Amino acid sequence: MAKRDGMELRDELTFDTSRAVKAVTWDEGIDRFQSWYDDQRGTQIVVENELGETVGFETPNRFTPEYREMLYAKAQSLERGLRERWGKLLHTSMVTLAASSTDEDGRPRPPLEHLEDLLSSWEAVRRALYRVLDGREWEYLAILEPHESGYVHIHLGVFVKGPVVAEQFQPVLDAHLDNCPTAGEDAHQILDEDGDEDAVRVRRSSHPSRSGGVENLGAYLAAYMAGEYGAEPGEMPAHVRAFYATMWASGRQWFRPSNGAQELMQPDSDDEEESVEEWEMVGIAPDGDLGDVVEVDAEAPGRRLYRELRTPPPGG
């Protein structure tokens, strides 16, 4: 799944040879992700309170439909909150950032190497965005989305109080081009509204029945994460499963909100004080049976260094 020396990978995705620690192929990584997910889905974490009462709940992870639907709801609340705050002055922009999925010889690149390159420009992109919108009120929500190939690109949703035009975001695209070693200029051009490859789209946030309106960019972005409603990873299209395996392997966060956006995505606090019980993890129930609890170390799975990739990603 990757080939650069010194990168980190889950133990489940490496194997030892006489000369090095190697990574499995992308196809094998997808299969191992699904096996891990199935095990996680059937396992319950068991906690106990001071009275000796035990409760089990499903192991949380970001690939479950419940978690993805929760993120979708949070993204909906983001633009709803901004609409309440700024009213008709709310304008939305979507900046798309990508990296080449093939090397100089046209061969498919390892997916983790591709993801690392794509994200290498993030701090420069964020600084450019702050310069572009200096003195304005604005927030952002960045989300990773897979192409149909399974490779990843970034959708950067920008929410601004007052009008903006696509050309204002050229420095943001330039920051990505200057700091992502495999970003191509052709994929980062600002074209007119009729262009098929425009990297920046700007709309006034209005009722969707009005020309040029975007009802909820936050929810539109989050739909990429939510996928098909209620679907388990194994029911997703092949390119989504490949994307999930890459995100699982890398441990990367697949959405990044600004601080203000994060606050708006939080549920409303309850003013009434509630009694709080202390619970302690005592083990796991591998088959969901609380009568068969296995004591475990709560430490997260370790990671290992690897140095080689055996074969290219699927389709290569």
Sorted by sequence, the CB contacts under 8 Å of residue 56 that are 6+ apart come out as: 44, 45, 46, 47, 285, 288, 290
For 75, phi and psi rounded to 5 degrees?
Answer: -65, -35
- Of 285 and 154, the structure prediction assigns the larger pLDDT to 154
DSSP tag of 119: H
Read out DSSP for 152-214? EEEEEEEEEES---GGGGHHHHHHHHHH-TT--GGGG----TT-SS-SEEEEE---TTSTTB-
pLDDT for res 283:
76
> Over the stretch 84-140, which tens digit does the pLDDT of each residue have?
999 989 998 999 999 999 998 999 999 999 999 999 999 999 999 999 999 999 999
pLDDT: which is higher, 202 or 234: 234
Tell me: the pLDDT tens digits for 261-286? 999 988 665 544 444 567 777 777 77
C-alpha dist (Å) from residue 187 to 19, 50, 60: 40, 58, 37
Tokens (6 digits) for 60: 């949380």
Tens digit of pLDDT for each residue in 164-176?
999 999 999 999 9
Question: Is residue 314 scored above 60 in pLDDT?
Answer: no
Lowest-pLDDT choice from 187-201, 237-251, 301-315: 301-315
> How far is it, in rounded angstroms, from Cα 2 to Cα 310?
9
Query: Please, which pLDDT band fits residue 146 given cuts at 50, 70 and 90?
Result: very high
Cα angle vertex 228, ends 119, 74, to 5°?
60
Domains in the chain, ordered, with CATH? 65-230+251-264 (3.40.1310)
Chain centre to alpha carbon of residue 244: 9
pLDDT for the residue numbered 170: 94
At residue 148, does pLDDT exceed 60?
A: yes
Count of beta carbons in the 10 Å neighbourhood of residue 124: 17
Average pLDDT over residues 242-270: 87
Is the pLDDT confidence value at 17 over 90?
no
Looking at the predicted structure, is the pLDDT value of residue 3 above 70? no
Rounded distance between C-alpha atoms, residue 14 and residue 11, angstroms: 6
Mean pLDDT of 58-74: 83
Given a cut of 50, whether residue 308 has pLDDT beyond it is no
Sequence-ordered list of residues with C-beta below 8 angstroms from that of 246, at least 6 positions apart, any chain: 1, 26, 29, 111, 112, 115, 150, 152
Residue 52's pLDDT is what? 80
pTM: 0.78
